[in-house]
Chains A and B, each alone.
Chain A
Amino acid sequence: MSVSETRRSMLEKVMKEHNFQESALLEILHRAQEIYGYLSKELLMDISQSLDLPPSHVFGVATFYSLFKLTEPGEHIVTGCLGTACYVKGVEDIMQAVEKEFRVKRGETTRDRKLSLFVTRCIGACAMAPNMVVDDEVIGKATKEVAIEKIKLALKGGPRRETR
Chain B
Amino acid sequence: MKLDELQEIAEHEVDFQRAYKYRINVCCSSGCVPFGAFKVLKAFEDAVKELGVEKECKVARTGCIGTCSVGPAVLIEPGDYLYQSVTPEKVREIVRDHIVLGLPAKEMLYSDKAFFEKQHRLVLRNAGKIDPSRIQDYIAMGGYSAIAKCLATMTPQGVIYEIRTSGLRGRGGAGFPTGQKWSLVARAQNTPKYIVANLDEGDPGVFANRTLAEADPHAIIEGMLIAAYAVGAEKGYLYIRSEYPLAIQTLQKAIAQGKTMSLLGDNVLETGFKFNLELRFGQGAFVAGEETAILASVEGRRAMPRPRPPYPANSGLWGKPTLIQNVETLANIPLIVQNGGLWFHKIGTPKCTGTKCFSLTGKINNPGLIEVPMGTTLREVVFDIGGGIPEGKRFKAVLVGGPSGGCLPETLLEVPIDYDSLTKAGAIMGSGGIVVIDESDCMVDTAKFFTEFCVDESCGRCTPCRAGLPRMKEIYDRITSGIGKVEDVQTLEKNGVFIRDASLCGLGQTAPNPILTTLRYFKEEYMQHIVEKKCQAGKCFRSKEAEA
Contact = CB atoms under 8 A, between A and B. Distances in A.
| B partners with A | yes
B419 interface: no
A87 B201 CA distance: 18
Interface string B25-47: 00000110011000000000000
Contacts of A128: 31, 34-35, 68-69, 71
Contact of A126 (B282, B299, B304, B361): B361
Given A122-B204, A128-B69, A26 B283 contact: yes
Interface size class of A (residues with CB under 8 A): 35 or more
Given A22-B300, A120-B243, A127-B367, A67 B204 contact: no
Interface stretch (B54-62, B106-114, B409-417, B433-441): B433-441
B202 interface: yes
Given A65-B283, A88-B435, A122-B243, A127 B204 contact: no
Given A30-B281, A125-B34, A127-B69, A84 B202 contact: no
Interface of A: 21-27, 29-30, 57, 60-61, 64-68, 82-89, 120-129, 137-140
B12 to A, nearest CB: 36
10 contacts: A27-B281, A29-B283, A64-B304, A67-B243, A85-B204, A122-B203, A125-B68, A127-B31, A127-B367, A128-B69
A66 B368 contact: no
A79 to B, nearest CB: 10
Nearest to B403: A84
B303 A64 contact: yes
B242 interface: yes
A121 B202 CA distance: 8
Contacts of A21: 300
A21 B355 CA distance: 40
Interface of B: 30-31, 34-35, 68-69, 71, 201-207, 210, 242-244, 280-286, 297-304, 359-363, 367-369, 399, 402-403, 433, 435, 437, 441, 446, 449-450, 453, 456-457, 459
Nearest to B405: A84
A60 B299 CA distance: 14
A66 B34 contact: no
A60 B460 CA distance: 13
B435 A84 contact: yes
Nearest to A140: B34
A127 B68 contact: yes
Given A127-B31, A140-B34, A25 B300 contact: yes
Contacts of B303: 64-65
Contacts of B359: 126-127
A126 B283 contact: no
A-B complex: 10 closest residue pairs judged by Cβ atoms? A127-B68, A83-B204, A84-B205, A65-B283, A67-B284, A25-B300, A122-B204, A85-B361, A66-B284, A124-B207
A73 B330 CA distance: 39
Contacts of B35: 128, 140
Nearest to B459: A64
A50 to B, nearest CB: 14
Contacts of A65: 282-285, 303
Nearest to A121: B204
Contacts of A140: 34-35
A88 to B, nearest CB: 5
A36 to B, nearest CB: 15
Contact of A26 (B206, B281, B304, B441): B281
Nearest to B69: A127
A89 B283 contact: no
Contact of B205 (A24, A61, A64, A83): A83
Given A26-B300, A57-B301, A84-B399, 14 more contacts: A26-B297, A30-B242, A64-B302, A83-B204, A84-B203, A84-B433, A85-B435, A88-B437, A120-B284, A124-B30, A126-B207, A126-B359, A126-B367, A140-B35
A125 B283 contact: no
Contacts of B283: 26, 29-30, 65-68
B348 to A, nearest CB: 25
A121 B403 CA distance: 11
Contact of B204 (A64, A66, A82): A82
A125 B205 contact: no
Contacts of A122: 202-207, 243
Nearest to A28: B300
A87 to B, nearest CB: 6
A137 B242 CA distance: 16
A94 B478 CA distance: 24
B244 A124 contact: yes
Contacts of A61: 300-302
Nearest to A24: B300
B510 to A, nearest CB: 15
A57 to B, nearest CB: 8
Nearest to B449: A87
A23 B34 contact: no
Nearest to A85: B361
B86 to A, nearest CB: 15
A14 to B, nearest CB: 13
A123 B203 CA distance: 10
A140 B207 CA distance: 15
A120 to B, nearest CB: 7
B245 to A, nearest CB: 9
Contact of A23 (B299, B361, B450): B299
A108 B542 CA distance: 23
A116 to B, nearest CB: 16
Contacts of A64: 285, 302-304, 459
B441 A88 contact: yes
A11 B304 CA distance: 27
Contacts of B446: 88
Contacts of B299: 22-23
A21 B299 CA distance: 10
Nearest to A67: B284
A133 to B, nearest CB: 9
B199 to A, nearest CB: 11
Contacts of A26: 280-283, 297, 300
A22 B71 CA distance: 42
Contacts of A121: 202, 204, 284, 286, 453, 456-457
